Structure 1
Amino acid sequence: MLITCDNNMQMGYIYLMPSEATVEYTLEESDIGLYYDLESLSIPRIKWLGMGQILSQMRLSVKTYREAVNNVFHCEYWNDLDSEGYMMGIELYLTEDILLPLVAHQAFKVYDIRWRNQDFRVLTLDAYLDVLNKNNVIYPLTPEKDAFVILSIDPASKVARVMALISGRDDLYPVDYLRQPLFVLANSSRSFERQ
């Protein structure tokens, strides 16, 4: 999974689906190697059937993500959806100070779960305790309810942050792609120290 972070611009992008853009990047070109051994980077896959029970206790919106955005909540920047409403990517505020601890603590994980009498995969984009916060809300991406996002919505600003993707669509969100750690850090503070 490609996650880009330009430290100068303090912006990042998470490519949830494989695309032509993901082929252009390699770990060797990333400043992430200044902090971590590239061979040690991973996105673990864990079977956790009990997570479904936790998700069942969270609020599930009747509105799809597309119906709710700019009505119930606002995006930090913009999250790209395909024509059907499936999320292709997430644009977010991201600096090396945010990205590096997430990588170090393996916040990015893929869980195999059972929820709503179906098998799903959950891709966490933050520490799982923050992802599974009971105040977060689950939004279906489409009326088919085969893919969802977990949102943390700031009560004051109504700005939502995507905390996780829940997917039953391996054709759109292939597990092999989600487990490939392609963390591309540009303009790291350490890269300037080397010059």
Structure 2
Amino acid sequence: MDITCDQSCDMGYIYLQKFSNNYDYSFDKSRLIASNQPIEVVDSVYLKLNKLNWPNKKYNDAIMDGDFIEEFQNDLDNNGYIKGIELQLTESRLKYLIENYKIATFEFNDSQYYYIAFAEDNAVFDAENYVYTFTDKEDAFVIVSRSKERRYQINLNKNKESEKSLSPKIAFIRALIFKESSPYDIDYLKSLKLYISNDDY
């Protein structure tokens, strides 16, 4: 899994699907964090998942319905699967992400799944978190937490005049769950590499 980090503005991007371009042209440094992240076998994940909220809607539909907004703008592929996460990436948040990055496999509803965590277990399996599927295939899901944070947004009213209002709650991605049949490549995700612009952290 590749992470790009622009320190000039504390912004980062997590590539969940392999990106074909060569990062080295636009980033000063790269660092391999993990060449082959071990996959844990866990039996109790489904019990934790059952405690979360499972709305009967897709991730993109929840955004369009105004259930939440993204931290910045995550990218979806043509089929609706999330392929990249744009986020504020300060030094402390990057350290937190790397320390809590975990890959596990488990059985759920008679199927084998992989689980990629971007936060500690308490943050991932908070009972107030939500689980959304990406497509009708239900072969991949995302766990999000809805923060109490909001921000002002500018909209056009019916008279096409701009007006300021508070946004829906901001959602943060905590984990990704998927089957092997989904577009996510477990071999790509096992290798964690950081691409850095400007001075190293």
**RMSD across aligned positions (CA):** 2.3
Greater fraction strand: 2
Corresponding residue of 1:182: 193
Which of 43, 46, 50 pairs up with 1:52? 46
Query: 1:36-71 CA distances to partner (integer Å, 9 max, x unpaired)?
Result: xx5766633111121111112211111100101141
Distance in 1 between the 2:37 and 2:28 partners?
19
On the 8 A contact 1:31/1:188 being kept in 2, the answer is no
CA 1:92–1:50 in 2, change beyond 3 Å: closer, same or farther? same
The percent identity for this pair of structures is 30
State the TM-score, normalized to the length of structure 2: 0.81
Corresponding residue of 2:101: 108
Distance in 1 between the 2:117 and 2:70 partners?
18
Please list every run of 5 or more consecutive structure 2 residues that lacks an aligned counterpart in the other structure.
151-168
Query: Hey, which bits of structure 1, 4+ residues long, moved more than 6 A?
Result: none
CA 1:125–1:61 in 2, change beyond 3 Å: closer, same or farther? same
**Structure 2 counterparts to residues 37-186 of structure 1, below 5 A:** 38=32, 43-70=37-64, 71-103=66-98, 105=99, 107-157=100-150, 158-170=169-181, 172-186=183-197
Query: How many aligned positions are there?
Result: 181
Q: Which structure's CA Rg is the greater one?
A: 2
Corresponding residue of 2:16: 16
CA 1:62–1:171 in 2, change beyond 3 Å: closer, same or farther? closer
Query: 1:7-43 CA distances to partner (integer Å, 9 max, x unpaired)?
Result: 211111110011213x5359x95365xxxxx576663
On the 8 A contact 1:150/1:162 being kept in 2, the answer is yes
State the TM-score, normalized to the length of structure 1: 0.83
